[in-house]
Structure 1
Amino acid sequence: MKSQHVSRVISAPPHVVYDYASNIENLPAWAEGLAQSEAVRNGDTLFVESPMGRVEVRFVEQNRFGVLDHDVTLPSGTVVTNPVRVLAHPDGAEVVFTVRQIELDDEEFARDVTMVEADLERLDRQVRQPS
């Protein structure tokens, strides 16, 4: 299994980036690789339509460390843990997302990395210029 770290520096304070990204209502605006619809909450589990089909998502609890880790249960039943960090950076914040090659061939993995890069670019735009 391969892993690849995808990062983006955002010109905003880390707490602003974290607060925006951790708000589930904002997921469809920036995380199209995960949520192509509003998230439906059932307890601490979210259900969203994704490019992979309907998936379950569980985020770690809100925290002061910038940790946005989340487990995604795929339609196959496989659980993928996605480590995500919002870190302080001299220019604002750096978001680091670890993409893992689980149930993906090399082409699909490359596509997932590209989708995460696009998601982080959207996050940057949304945080700097919220609609």
Structure 2
Amino acid sequence: MSRVITASPEVVYEYASNVGNLPRWAAGLARTQAVRDGDRLIVESPMGRVEVRFVERNRFGVLDHDVTLPSGTVVTNPVRVLPHPDGSEIIFTVRQIELDDDEFARDIDLVAADLERLEHQIIQRI
């Protein structure tokens, strides 16, 4: 799943990597502000309380993060912010882990809505 955003990759990465912004755009992950506990974040999500660990900030636009589901299953979510002729493209790999086909389709819709919100949040700020 991807979305082109008419902003530089640096702007998109800075906004998306700020965990304080998660509830503004990533409703599929965080309904509330994240509570930091060492290198992990605890958030209330549509799946219940989950633990999130992001990769360290980097210059490559990598926003990969592991989400530990209430069941204890860890889902690795690869996310990249890449240069695009129109600004940047954010790519989020959606995985069908512990989801039936209907749940997976809903998850895809949630990620698409999250990326759309991300675009709107960034465009409003530039």
TM-score normalised by structure 1 residue count: 0.95
Matches within 5 A, 1:62-101: 62-101=57-96
Q: Is residue 100 of structure 2 the alignment partner of residue 105 of structure 1?
A: yes
Aligned residues with identical type, % of pairs: 76
Pick aligned residue for 2:6 from 11, 16, 19: 11
Instruction: Return the offset for 1:68.
Output: 0.1
**Alignment deviations for residues 35-74 of structure 1 (CA, whole Å, 9 cap, x no partner):** 0000000111000000000000000000000000000000
Secondary structure, counterpart of 2:4 in structure 1:
strand
Structure 2: tracts of 5 or more residues without a match? none
Show the counterpart of 2:22. Answer: 27
Secondary structure, counterpart of 1:100 in structure 2:
coil
Secondary structure, counterpart of 1:127 in structure 2:
helix
Secondary structure, counterpart of 1:101 in structure 2:
coil
Q: Is residue 40 of structure 2 the alignment partner of residue 40 of structure 1?
A: no
Give the Cα separation in 1 of the matches to 2:108 and 2:58.
Answer: 26
Show the counterpart of 2:118. Answer: 123
TM-score normalised by structure 2 residue count: 0.99
Secondary structure, counterpart of 1:48 in structure 2:
strand
**Alignment deviations for residues 81-114 of structure 1 (CA, whole Å, 9 cap, x no partner):** 0000000000000000000000000000000000
Give the Cα separation in 1 of the matches to 2:44 and 2:37.
Answer: 15
Structure 1: tracts of 5 or more residues without a match? 1-5
Name the aligned partner's letter for residue 127 of structure 1.
Answer: I
Give the Cα separation in 2 of the matches to 1:20 and 1:125.
Answer: 12
Give the Cα separation in 1 of the matches to 2:3 and 2:76.
Answer: 20
The aligned length equals 126
Instruction: Return the offset for 1:15.
Output: 0.3
Instruction: Return the offset for 1:24.
Output: 0.2
Instruction: Return the offset for 1:127.
Output: 0.6
